[in-house]
A and B are shown apart, each in its own frame.
Chain A
Amino acid sequence: MRTLAAPLWQQPMVITLLLLSVFGVGMIYSAGVLEVPSTVTEGLWIRQAVFLGASVVGLLVVSRIPLRWFEWVAVPAYVLGVAVLAVTLVAGTGAGTAEGISSFLSIGGFRFQPAEAAKISTALALAALLARREGPPLYLRDLLTPAALVGLPLGLVLLQPDLGTALAFLGIFFAVIFWAGTPWPLILFAASPGLGLILAFSLRVWAAYIVLLAIGLYLYRFRLYLVESIAVILGNIAAGAIAQPLWNSLAEYQRNRLLVFLDPELDPRNAGWQLIQSKVAVGSGGVFGKGFTAGTQKRLAFLPEQHTDFIFSVVGEEFGFIGTSVVLVLFGYLFFRMITMAEAAKRSFAGLFIFGILGVWLTHVFINAGMTIGVVPVTGIPLPFISYGGSFLLMSWMAAAVVLALANDDS
């Protein structure tokens, strides 16, 4: 029994996504307007537009699928997704700007990133898992299964190695357990080993952090099993212990990316280059920007990856603060709409899934936009709906289609 609240093309989410996508095609066109020979061909925007068309068709189909089907397909889809990710590790190839990592699978000449589909299936599976619970997770052990469910594809993606996408899986996990009603201290404790890993760069800071963590656990002692408290402490100690070997195991370029985040002038020619040039591009855009296609940083090839990971810098350079804030406000509005849709969802499965996708996009937007201005380290992660990438655009739209399908099913 499906009754659509409103025709699809009248729904605010769809309008927002169309605005972002069309704007993205325009920016990809601009990214191809260069004064120098470049790997970016001028026709890429056409390809992106074709994929946008396909995405809209996909939206029309997928958004009509009933919720029950998704519930039913969640687990098989998850298993399939993980399997394909495993295959990708063996048979995957790099492509385009992600040349260094094996994240693409090529089937019959069509190349796609299995991780993009796995984000949807993982979100479905996690939503299905948590929707079956009687109440919100109250103990850390309640989070073990969800963590394992997300950890499996996340680990496979990390092995590619694709840090950016792995972070998106973390986004799914935390957004979904949040919406499941997990108390916030518990979420913090769950996240604490990650924090410990980062803080381990300084023994003093890390020691102080462990003390604070212990105090926190003591205050929260009535809500946790002792074993869990000990596990959190041990987890953090383990994180601190593996920090150094992990750092050493990173590739040179990965380490440099993290180092130049702290000080871009450390290596202004190589690792720091992207960040410096991106900052220059965004900053020099000013309030109104240099005008569509007129960005000099982009035009003269100072800005790397200007059509994919650093397209937000082109927005900043050519449309200025007006352009960047409009894009961010559109995303903010999209996220508000999704929260409202999750709130209104009759079934918790729908709300949880919507939050899973919200977690993915929020992670992408914050890291992508943040890295162009040095708020977060440079991570190879595209801006949804705007960055160039056919299968990424299509999968983002499919995620949106599922969100709409679940939100609009009030059976």
Chain B
Amino acid sequence: MTPRNPTQVRVLATRARVAVVVLVGVLVAVLFRFQVLRSSDWLLESQSNRLRPLNVPAPRGVIRDRVGRVFAENVPGYSVSVIHDQPDSMISTLHRLREHLELDDGRLEDLAIRARTGPPRPLLVTVDAPFDVVAALQERRSVFPRLLIETRPKRLYPAGRVGAHVIGYVGEINEAEVEAREAEGAEPGWIVGRSGVEARYESTLQGKPGMRYVEVDAAGRIVGSFEGVPGVTAEPGTDLQLNLDLELMEWIDRIFPEGMNGSVVALDVETGGVLALYSAPAFDPNVFAGIVDRSEWERLVQDPQSPLYHRAVMGKYPPGSPWKLATAAIALDLGVVTPSERMPVSCGGSYVFGNRAYRCWKPEGHGSLDLAGAIQHSCNVYFYQLGLEIGLARLLEVGNRMGFGEQCGIDLPTEAHGNFPEGPEFWERRFGYRAQEGEALNIAIGQGPNDQTPLKMAQFILAIARDGSAPAPTVLRSAGNGANEASWSLDIPQEHLEQVREGMRRVTRQGGTAYLSSLEHFDLLGKTGTAQSGGGRPSHAWFTAIAGLHGQAPEIVVVALVEFGESGSGVAAPLAAKTADFHLRGVHGIPRDTIQTLGEYLRAGRNTAWARQPDP
């Protein structure tokens, strides 16, 4: 028992109190620094701890036709991604996913490589998961804790195969493109245009991706979305309005000869705008909307009919008789002939040049013809002589000026250029002999080394329908809706040009080759063609047409080509005529009908009095 000195006790107690105050004070002071002075820094850290930015894909711009009908739009789709983790666990998740999602071996292998080598981002498995799969995966969240299911806009082509080639399709961006477009914020999973308008106007349609924050736990699992920190709203891509007429293209799809391949091009005479660009056979671009299934892709690529091939702008065919119009235009441009002039030798079924007889298609001959008559009857003998009068060199020179060896410059990512000799030296380079003047005979009637796309032929006919000049056909409806600048023009007096048109007009008059394709309400100016395809196969059928109200300015140019169609007048002419009629009836408010051409009127037993007008 120590009797303690009260003073000493007081001193000790005071010291003890000081010690307590110091220790607690140190803690409070440090806490003050943490929680009051530096709190915002730590708050930022706690947010970067738990918040992860995720890109929000921007909806692509909607593609509409000239009056607003939808070619391509967006519908909500579901994407499934695996959140970044150890590669092995990501791959095992992928394997387990196969129970729910269709993942072929190739795709799985691609994804496994990306899981191993890719950046630490969610690994996109599919951008187009069916809803029932998404529901099933949501239910099994505990089995798939590191799965990210998001809605993202998915491309839909309501018109299906109509417009498939010109509108194109989309696909997932590849790694090289991601790198190239990093500045735009590209990341895997982006949907980009792969062909057609979708590819040509990719940057316009793409839009700007947004960003949102999600909350993650310590293990990196996404716990939920987070609204506390504002993200960036995705900016949708710009909508496009095209010159195309969806209804017209659907109509062409309906009337195109069943089982045949080919294409139809329709241009607006005033603007050069593309009203229709149709290629058969077509495919459904909706199969590309998500990630393409390999087997489907291979089926399309290996199809002997080449449905992916855009014949209207890529197909090259010998132009045949319609090219006689070009010969006529070149002659008039050079002032070699006047329309009323007749050739020295009248057609007796053949023309002798050098030591060879060049035949006309009509063995008994056409007699003596002026230009319009020669066009009406497609007389070879007339054009042989016209070609000789122009001369090979000048024929080729002006032909090149008109762009027969080039592309039209249509606003699509791919377009074939025509095959056309650049000059007489072509023969030496290509065939090893000096070109003789006789080559002019073949060229003049659209044969020889000359292949053109349907689009190029349409652009040429457009010049005939206008004033001798032709702009580049455009798919996109430009803001001003004005005519495009001419890409080339011919120096032909209007009355001469009218004589060419007169020749074409007579083609659908009584006695013309396409009389049965004449129309009740409209003037149809045409030129048939049956171009040898070579290899002993049937000839390609051409019909190039200009149409408009009777006696008034032309409004539409239509070029129809049916591969191995044999008969320009029998197969291609009705196709072009019905295309023009459908369009013009719409424009002029005349009720549409499936009975359009004279031939159809006759078969339907209708009154055909309108067709028996005598030649003026």
Residues of A within 8 A of B (CB): 35-36, 131-135, 178-179, 181, 277, 279-287, 296-297, 300-302, 316, 320-321, 324-325, 328-329, 331-332, 335-336, 339-340, 342-343, 347-348, 351, 355, 358, 362, 366, 369-370, 373, 375
A340 touches B13 (CB 8 A): yes
How many Å lie between the Cα of A287 and that of B32 in the bound state?
9
Q: Choose, from B154-162, B211-219, B451-459, B482-490, the stretch at the interface.
A: B211-219
The segment from B14-22, B236-244, B256-264, B517-525 that touches chain A is B14-22
Residue of A nearest to B23 (CB): A366
Which of B12, B28, B35 is in CB contact (< 8 Å) with A320?
B35
In the docked arrangement, what's the CA distance between A181 and B2, Å?
Answer: 11
Question: What residues of A have a CB within 8 angstroms of the CB of B50 in the complex?
Answer: 296-297, 300, 302
Give me 5 A-to-B residue pairs in the complex whose CB atoms sit less than 8 angstroms apart, sorted by A's number. Answer: A300-B216, A329-B24, A343-B9, A362-B23, A366-B27
Expressed in whole angstroms, the Cα–Cα distance for A281 and B31 within the complex equals 12
Complex formed: what's the CA distance from A340 to B12 in Å? Answer: 11
Chain A CB within 10 A, most for which of B26, B35, B38, B42: B35
Tell me how far the C-beta of A298 lies from the nearest C-beta in chain B, rounded to whole angstroms: 10
In the bound complex, what is the Cα–Cα distance between A324 and B4 (angstroms)? 38
Please, which residues of chain B bring their CB within 8 A of the CB of A131?
1-2
Q: How far is the CB of B85 from chain A (nearest CB, A)?
A: 15
Q: Contacts A36-B223, A286-B43 given: A339-B27 contact, CB under 8 Å?
A: no
Taken together as a complex, chains A and B put the C-alpha atoms of A297 and B217 apart, in Å, by 9
Chain A: minimal CB distance from B44 (Å)? 8
* Interface status of B49 (Cβ within 8 A of chain A): yes
With a CB–CB cut-off of 8 A, which chain B residues contact A328? 24, 27-28, 31
In the complex, which of the residues A36, A321, A329 contacts B35, with contact meaning CB atoms closer than 8 Å? A321
Identify the interface centre among A36, A280, A282, A342: most chain B CB within 10 Å of its CB: A280
Interface size class of B (residues with CB under 8 A): 35 or more
Say yes or no for B179: interface residue by CB 8 A criterion.
no
Q: Is the CB of A280 within 8 A of B17?
A: no
Say if the beta carbon of B177 comes within 8 Å of chain A.
no
Chain A residue contacts of B12, Cβ below 8 A:
178-179, 181
A58 to B46, CA, bound (A): 42
| In contact, A282 and B27 (Cβ under 8 angstroms) | no
B305 sits at the interface (CB 8 A): no
Residue of A whose beta carbon sits closest to that of B223: A35
9 A-B pairs besides A296-B46, A302-B49, A321-B31 with CB distance below 8 A are A35-B223, A134-B2, A296-B49, A300-B223, A302-B217, A302-B218, A324-B35, A339-B13, A370-B30
Closest chain-B Cβ to A359's Cβ sits at a distance in Å of: 10
CB-CB under 8 A from B215, the residues of chain A are 296, 300
Distance of A187 Cα from B414 Cα, bound (Å): 92
Interface presence of B89 (CB below 8 A): no
Point out the residues of chain A lying under 8 angstroms from B223, CB to CB: 35-36, 300
**Set of chain B residues within 8 Å of A301, measured between Cβ atoms:** 217-219
**A342→B4 CA distance, assembly (Å):** 12
Q: Is B41 among interface residues, defined by CB-CB distance under 8 A?
A: yes
The one of B28, B35, B221 in contact with A287, judged by C-beta atoms closer than 8 angstroms, is B35
Do A279 and B34 contact each other (CB < 8 Å), given the known contacts A300-B215, A300-B223, A362-B20?
Answer: yes
Q: Are A284 and B221 within 8 A (Cβ)?
A: no
Specify which chain B residues have a CB less than 8 angstroms from the CB of A355 in the assembled complex.
Answer: 16
Choose from A281, A287, A342, A375 the contact partner of B36 (Cβ within 8 Å).
A287
Flag whether B39 is at the interface (Cβ < 8 A): yes
Residues of B contacting A348 with CB < 8 Å? 1-2, 4
In Å, the complex CA distance between A284 and B51 comes to 14
B12 to chain A minimum Cβ distance, whole angstroms, is 6
Complex-state Cα separation, A302 to B48, whole angstroms:
12
Query: Would you call A282 and B10 a contact (CB within 8 A)?
Result: no
**Distance in Å: Cβ of B340 to nearest Cβ of chain A:** 92
Contacting pair B219 A283 (CB below 8 A): no
B46 CB to nearest A CB, Å: 4
